[in-house]
Amino acid sequence: MNSNGDTNADIATVYGEEVHVPGLAGWLAEIDERGYAVIPDWIGPERVKRLGEDLRREVNPIDKTMVRAHNLLGKTRCVDDLVCDPRLLALAQGVLGDKIQVSVVAMFDLLPGAKAQGLHQDDGLWPLPRPHPPFVVNGVIAADDFTKENGATVLVPGSHKWHDQEVRQPPDVATVQVEMGAGSLLVWTGAMWHGGGANTTDQSRLAIAINFNLSYLRQQENQYIGVPREEVAKMPERLRRVLGYQHGMSFVGPGMVDLRDPLEMVDRVHFGYDVNDPDMPAIG
Ligand SMILES: O=C(O)CCC(=O)C(=O)O
Ligand SMILES: [Fe+2]
């Protein structure tokens, strides 16, 4: 224990900053063991209220048949703080290691009458043989209470370890539904079988999903095209980096630009640059 009451395992270094996240080690152990963790009161009631209002105003209306709106960081600035919340980055890095990036940020607005989504693995979009190390982690923040009736996420505990099995659908596999209050965070590892539930109520079930993957892989949603450069310019540096404007691995590795920090190269590339210019950022 330190003076803040955290065990050392609850301390993480996120983009160079030491953060204390009470509960972190326990949540990571749960994700490792059963594939997911539920964290109540991740954000407080005021933030939940604003999130719901902002999303409904800035991102809706979506097509009446759609329950998911993608490219959120290209459409609104109302979730930036939630995406680069150091506690969330610490969780994602705890599952995936230091080299992470946003893969897709989406709104899940399960409309009344929405059918249950088929069980799937979020990491199934990359055709890698299993078993493989975790490379996707998803965090869903509830903007409304999640109930069995309104489509709380359905999942199969422990299925992230069933490397030799194809995803099966209920009733061929036992599922649980994660009921949780608005403001809660549900985090799962990309190999865990899961899907959105059916909404049999007359209210929608609103949430955002902040999905990360390894920074040296391709992102699920193309953030470089999806998020206009003027919007990137408005973001705090950490968010820009998490969005993908960073070395994926090292200065020669995936994601580099002319052997330099991609973030320092964005404007130079746009306006034209000369490698011999004395103002060029250092290589490395
Ligand atoms: O809506 C949910 O609860 C989960 C949705 C989901 O897993 C997905 O769209 O990939
Ligand atoms: Fe999913």
In tens, the pLDDT along 181-210 reads 999 999 999 999 999 999 999 999 999 999
Residue 62 confidence (pLDDT) = 63
For the chain, the average pLDDT equals 94
- Report pLDDT for 276: 93
Residue nearest to atom 2 of ligand 1 (CA): 196
The arithmetic mean of pLDDT across residues 60-65, rounded, is: 65
Taking only the tens place, the pLDDT of each residue in 114-125 is 999 999 999 999
CA 228 – ligand 1 centroid, Å: 26
Measured from the Cα of 110, ligand 1's closest atom is: 1
* Residue 6: per-residue pLDDT: 55
Ligand nearest to the CA of 180: 1
Edge to edge, what strands does the sheet with 194-195 contain?
A: 176-177, 154-155, 194-195
pLDDT value for 250 = 86
| pLDDT for residue 5 | 54
User: Above 60 in pLDDT, residue 244?
Assistant: yes
Residue 194 Cβ inside 6 Å of ligand 1? The answer reads: yes
CA of 207 to the centre of ligand 1 (A): 10
Tell whether ligand 1 has an atom less than 6 A from the beta carbon of residue 153: yes
- Ligand 1 mean position to 26 CA, how many Å? 24
* Residue 151 CB partners (closer than 8 Å, separation 6+): 110, 114, 116, 196, 197, 198, 199, 205
Residues within 5 Å of ion ligand 2 by Cβ? 122
Domains for the chain: give ranges and CATH numbers: 8-246 (2.60.120.620), 253-284 (no CATH)
For 104-147, what is each residue's pLDDT tens digit?
Answer: 999 999 999 999 999 999 999 999 999 999 999 999 999 999 99
The answer to whether residues 229 and 261 touch, using CB atoms and an 8 Å cutoff, is no
Mean pLDDT of 28-46: 98
Please compute the mean of the pLDDT values over residues 73-87 and round it to a whole number.
96
Take residue 198 and report the two structure tokens written for it: 């059916």
C-alpha distances out from residue 256 to 84, 168, 252, 269, Å: 22, 40, 6, 13
How confident is the model over 87-112, as a mean pLDDT?
96
Query: Quick one: tokens of 261?
Result: 């920090």
Report which ligand 1 atom has the smallest distance to the Cα of 207: 1
pTM given for the model: 0.95
State if residue 195 touches ligand 1 by the CB under 6 angstroms criterion.
yes
Nearest residue to 75 via CA among 49, 57, 92, 87: 57
Helix axes 24-34, 86-96, angle to 10 degrees: 40
